[in-house]
Structure 1
């Protein structure tokens, strides 16, 4: 028997009954890749029950060694032409069994990745997060987290957007609809279906609200144990795109679609004891442990920015006065800081405002926990709170380019100590691949500025 995360998740027995009754004919078996995308197979439900449920399935190990366009690239230790591009095991995590209401007759199970001998693939994003959660558990703590993921919706379908080179798309709202009930009405049929489908898929949906950029929206979900939150995040991100396509629309989670407001993914995190006790707050306010945890996240912010901002485009968000942070500082309910403290008592938590909509939640949460644990283990003192505008504080800044973040990560002794050399080298290669691809590209900006006038 496997535990249910809530009463809207599927038990194995419940899935088998639905398969036997013909209610489920397809089971998606998937993992999360480096870029935070679901990869895997759609399996006939009868075959899944008879041939996969007991032992998992296999998939090519190149899934953790390709660029975003699925091109095989050099430089990865775990997968290459020389190694023969062999298989990994998709090890089913039956806690994640769920229905997908927007996909008729379909259930899904998420997986860990192991080698054929059963050893974990340590470079897998889900394994990286579970490793940090294990470190917490050994100290008697658990992590609770929530991700606030923004996107921009367009009335232009995906196929047309592709043909148009993703230019001149029609946003689903025409102006700033931040908190506007009237302004978001036009896109409410899409938002409503996403909310209801994700509720049916086992998530606890809180609300939807408009944002500043035309077409920009946010759907919020209740916090959960950190692994559950990351699992839900990647399912929601894929499902939202699928549902948008079913409505003849498209959405993007890229960090900076245009010169206006980017898509953020603020991550809220708190610790509790494994017995549920509060550890971030007591009768006097913040605990010393909470202060050390915050200090650790700030100390490692530059080292771990690559895991918060993994793409070339990620760094377009970091602009003064943009509500995306530039200064590595903290403040109480201060949205100009990289780390914002919110809540009191049992709701006390920190908000990391660095990640954008393109973040891989497993990697970002792992980095936050690793950084916080570094602060706890070394009893790091909390620096002074930022009072007022952090953009004008003169504090050290979040790395402003992928290259700067890559260099900070690969040379970080803390990253290598807490995440392992294998993980650091693997994700350094991912950055190198993206930097090389962008360095070889001729952009439309260059053409507009140079074709005639140069």
Structure 2
């Protein structure tokens, strides 16, 4: 890994050559969105690179509308909307091809004095990765993001209240090599410019829903994958806007197929050994792997909130939507929420619960924490599900609503133990805020149902 000083010196050289004019310092917020500020290169190098940059504490205690209030572990009102510091992580520095002259660095939130902000998504993940490291283990992850592309601009979509938009493909183009004429220019640019930002493309293809597409980037160490994930989502939207188009990662835009974010996760020893595999075992799985998968099943209902954090998340997790509804595992069985795939170094789980709205840091942290719970308690693994888990009434159910997921989360002894009470309370408050906002809204469904006939 490069030393911070050498990273910053390369930035200085890029600036002196006229290729970088500004540095965006950004922190991943509760929703997984990047929030931050633009800094001049001299100011960044002379001040922020080493000492950090001040940002208001409410960035990690607000909803999607940027509203804050009491009940979060960070009470912005009580603190007078003061600042914490954003400490740039030099390993995340990159230039942005879609924003010429701009470099971006992801930062960790710390309190004055240097203590980490415990509820920050990046810190939540770091704590779980540190627990792995104590056991001589390292996590590698990959995320598969689906999104819908529309020919309309974001402004047009807003003015229409997101009704009557034109998808960039007209029909199911899953694996298709035709019918992509309207979508290909923008997704080609996304693929090319993400590579320029340091993301390694693996696969790309059309998907089922009109306008739907999936781009998969190469797996990496878990924190790096999550950093790349949030850069991708942020950049893809900016590129679409520059092309006069719009895209959405929301899990369920309409009654059609939803947008998933399947999370692939594997463990290795610190020496790079594939600790999940055992060539001598009939199923190729080590005893550690079996405990790791069992932990996923044991914690899935309690940790669902970290993988499906919004009301819309659960519109995707419904029968008939080809998304998980039960708690089961299977070998290469896409009807199970936990799918075991690969062999040797590539043996891994695919977590199929998260949707396109998932905060990757929290989703991966949940999967790591669940696996560690299974390992530490040597949980036995039940036989794999070999049939359609979506249609099997004997399979235990996932939480079907945000309300149910919230109840499981804040009453979970496991969550309190592995994440800490302040983290549990903070994200419970975020869920309550989401529910309260929805409960006061009047929907189109209600107007159609009741305007004339009730």
Gap regions ≥5 residues in structure 1: 5-9
1:336-386 C-alpha deviation (Å, 9 max, x unpaired):
001111111111110000000000000000000000000000000001211
Partner of 2:18 in structure 1? 22
User: For 1:240, what is the secondary structure of its paired residue?
Assistant: helix
SS state at 1:405 partner: helix
Tell me the distance in 1 between the aligned counterparts of 2:274 and 2:348.
Answer: 11
Match of 2:401 in 1: 401
Superposition deviation, residue 3 in structure 1: 5.1
For residue 131 of structure 1, report the CA deviation from its aligned partner.
Answer: 0.4
SS in 1 for 2:113: coil
Helix, strand or coil for the counterpart of 2:51? Answer: coil
1:194 to 181, 190, 195: 190
- Identify which range, 76-85 or 19-28, moves more after superposition: 76-85
Q: TM-score, normalised by structure 1?
A: 0.97
Per the TM alignment, residue 54 of structure 1 is displaced from its structure 2 partner at its CA by 2.3
> For 1:190 and 1:184, how far apart are their aligned partners in 2?
11
When structure 1 is superposed on structure 2, of 319-328 and 405-414 the one drifting more is: 319-328
1:123-162 Cα shifts (integer Å, max 9, x gaps): 0000000000000000000000000000000000000000
**1:414 maps to which residue?**
414
Residue 451 of structure 2 corresponds to 451
Answering whether residue 152 of structure 2 is matched by residue 152 of structure 1, we say no
Greater mean alpha carbon deviation, residues 353-362 or residues 76-85: 76-85
The Cα shift of 1:43 comes to: 1.2
Task: Confirm or deny: 8 A CA contact 2:307 2:362 kept in the other structure.
Answer: yes
Shift of 1:11: 2.6
Aligned match for 2:268, one of 263, 272, 278: 272
Structure 2 stretches of 5 or more lacking a match? none
1:368-447 counterparts in 2 under 5 A? 368-393=367-392, 394-447=394-447
The answer on whether the counterparts of 1:99 and 1:106 sit within 8 Å (CA) in structure 2 is: yes
User: Does the aligned pair in 2 maintain the 1:328–1:397 contact within 8 Å?
Assistant: yes
Alignment partner of 2:174 out of 167, 175, 178: 178
Q: Output the CA distance in 2 between the equivalents of 1:408 and 1:158.
A: 36
Q: Contact 1:310/1:402 (CA < 8 Å) preserved in 2? A: yes
More moved, 198-207 vs 365-374: 198-207
Over the residues paired in the alignment, what is the CA RMSD in angstroms? Answer: 1.2
Q: Does 1:102 align with 2:98?
A: yes
Q: Is the 8 A contact 1:67 1:73 kept in 2?
A: no
Q: What is the distance in 1 between the residues matched to 2:245 and 2:214?
A: 16
TM-score normalised by the chain length of structure 2: 0.97
1:359 alignment counterpart: 358
1:242 lines up with 2:238 in the alignment:
yes
C-alpha contact 1:327 1:397 (8 A) present in aligned 2:
yes
Give the secondary-structure state (helix, strand or coil) at the position aligned to 1:77.
coil
Runs of 4+ with >6 A deviation: none
Aligned residues: 449
Q: State which drifts further: 160-169 or 68-77.
A: 68-77
User: For residue 70 of structure 2, what is the aligned residue in structure 1?
Assistant: 74
